[in-house]
Amino acid sequence: MGCLLPLFALATPRFILVVLWLFTDYLSRAYENFWLPLLGFIFLPTTTVGYAIAQNMFDGVRGWGLVIVLFGLALDLGLLGGAGRGWRPKPKRASGN
């Protein structure tokens, strides 16, 4: 049960990117080619969505657009860093026998 929230957090921005790609032209207005959104889908999906919002709603990565992109980057790095924290081996306790 404890793994559902991180899995949901990792899947949600990718789901949003797929919906935007299938049903709107939101990503094509923000990106000139197909490769950057594809790489963003794989590595930094929240930053990719933030960049698309900045380009479409705030006329680029200036002012509030920059804030949104940086917020997306912080979320992506936080999700990646939080996932790595759970994989550390736990230290062995010395037995008192």
In the chain, DSSP finds a helix count (H) and a strand count (E) of: 5, 0
| pLDDT tens series, the chain, 97 aa | 667 887 888 889 999 999 999 999 999 999 999 899 999 999 999 999 999 999 999 988 999 999 999 999 999 888 777 655 556 666 777 666 5
Distance between CA atoms of 90 and 13, rounded to whole angstroms?
31
The domain ranges of the chain are: 4-85
Give residue 58's Cα distance to chain centre.
Answer: 20
Q: What angle do CA 32, 52, 22 make, to 5 degrees?
A: 80
Return the closest-CA partner of residue 14 out of 49, 45, 38. Answer: 45
pLDDT of residue 72: 93
